[in-house]
Amino acid sequence: MAKWGQGDPRWIVEEREDGTNVNNWHWTERDATSWSKGRLRELLVGITVENEAGRCEISELKQVEGEASCSSRKGKLIFFYEWNIKLGWKGIIRESGAKHKGLIEIPSLSEENEVDDTEVNVSKKKGDGDILKDLMKTAGTAKVREALGDYLKALKTEFTMGMILPTKAMAAQELTVERKLSENALQASSRVALGVRIPTVALHMTELFDTAIEQLYRIFTVKDLVQKFSKSPAVLEAEKGGKFQMFDGNITGEYTELLTNKKIVMKWRCRNWPEEHYAIVALNFVPTLQQTELQLDCKGVPVCEEENMKFCWQKQHFEEIKGLLQLTTLNG
């Protein structure tokens, strides 16, 4: 029998009382099916393309069948995914104002093929409007493949967060990254069960919106409006200490401060971040001439999630909110 502190390092328990998956040696698997369905909906529904002839938009996710998973073994990640996707699109011809609908079918999105080689079939209901079908077959197909690529990137980064547990060597290397938090509370929440601090980064983003400050504030605090721009069910308690849940549960958190039409501060986390780790997100609403400037300051974002966090706010919040505002203006 090996003495304590001796033997094959693959089986030596370091800094864990239960010794679970020591040094990432054992096989682990995580089901990504439910997460993938939500992310595919977020990325695909709402895609728009237009030219001088007309404008088209993917309006709904009609079907998403299949599965996805990620496994780890000896510190390596192995991905499996296979999807059959059907989308509904609608469009309008500029000159005549005629409206048309159709389908986009992706019969096999899998790890066996590159995204650029993935089959994307566009069809349209009977009648005129082939000019819109052609638009979707060219520019629309390109945007669909781009969105599928974003899904795979998120699957291999965001979803796998925490699957490869840090060893002593990995932790020492990560801790050389010089990231300083300004709040002690964040330092306490930035530790995983292993006792290794997660390197984090702060983000600052600004965006201009063509709307009154009151309307923009409501979009972040009224459940129906949140569901419209996120295109998914939401749970919202817009008061100090109130909880929120968005994007099919992928984003959760708590409101810590609300100053009507001025400021919102939240504890904010993505489902696949280390357990109990939250970033602090502050939204400041600044009135400008006929516009509202939104200033976002975020502290405590895991370093490996920096790009995903930027994508989440730019694409899934700012751009979707602008689309909602434009739609509201047109309908008004």
CATH number for the domain spanning 314: value is: 3.30.530.20
Residues 151 and 225 reside in one and the same domain: no
Whether residue 287 is contained in a domain is answered as yes
Indicate which CATH number applies to the domain containing 68: 3.15.10.20
Residues 205 and 152 reside in one and the same domain: no
Nearest to 301 by CA among 276, 268, 254, 275: 268
Residues 205 and 120 reside in one and the same domain: no
> Total structural domains in the chain?
2
Residues 147 and 59 reside in one and the same domain: yes
Whether residue 207 is contained in a domain is answered as yes
Q: How far apart are CA 11 and CA 60, in angstroms?
A: 49
Residues 137 and 247 reside in one and the same domain: no
Whether residue 166 is contained in a domain is answered as no
pLDDT tens digits in sequence order for the chain, 332 residues long: 444 444 444 444 444 444 444 444 455 778 888 888 988 999 999 999 999 999 999 999 999 999 998 887 666 788 889 999 999 999 999 999 999 999 999 999 998 888 889 999 999 988 788 999 999 999 999 999 999 999 998 888 777 665 554 444 444 444 444 344 344 444 444 444 443 467 888 999 999 999 999 999 999 999 999 999 988 889 999 999 999 999 888 899 999 999 999 999 999 999 888 888 999 999 999 999 889 999 999 999 988 888 888 988 999 899 999 998 988 765 55
Residues 204 and 316 reside in one and the same domain: yes
Residues 123 and 232 reside in one and the same domain: no
Residues 221 and 324 reside in one and the same domain: yes
User: What pLDDT shows up at residue 327?
Assistant: 81
Place of tokens 């997660």: 198
Whether residue 39 is contained in a domain is answered as yes
pTM of this structure: 0.48
Nearest to 138 by CA among 42, 49, 46, 47: 49
Residues 82 and 131 reside in one and the same domain: yes
User: What pLDDT shows up at residue 272?
Assistant: 86
Residues 34 and 155 reside in one and the same domain: yes
Whether residue 247 is contained in a domain is answered as yes
User: What pLDDT shows up at residue 275?
Assistant: 82
User: What pLDDT shows up at residue 75?
Assistant: 63
User: What pLDDT shows up at residue 77?
Assistant: 80
Q: Tell me which of 159, 182, 209 is where a domain ends.
A: 159
Residues 139 and 219 reside in one and the same domain: no
Those residues with Cβ within 8 angstroms of residue 88's Cβ, 6 or more apart along the chain or in another chain: 58, 59, 60, 61, 62, 101, 102, 103, 104
Extract the tokens encoding 149. Answer: 């690529």
Whether residue 265 is contained in a domain is answered as yes
Name the residue range of residue 250's domain. 200-330
Whether residue 230 is contained in a domain is answered as yes
Whether residue 186 is contained in a domain is answered as no
Residues 56 and 110 reside in one and the same domain: yes
For 104-165, give the DSSP string: EEEEEEETTS-GGGS--EEEE-SSS-HHHHHHIIIIIHHHHHHHHHHHHHHHHTTTTTTTS-
Query: Cβ(290)–Cβ(212) under 8 Å?
Result: no
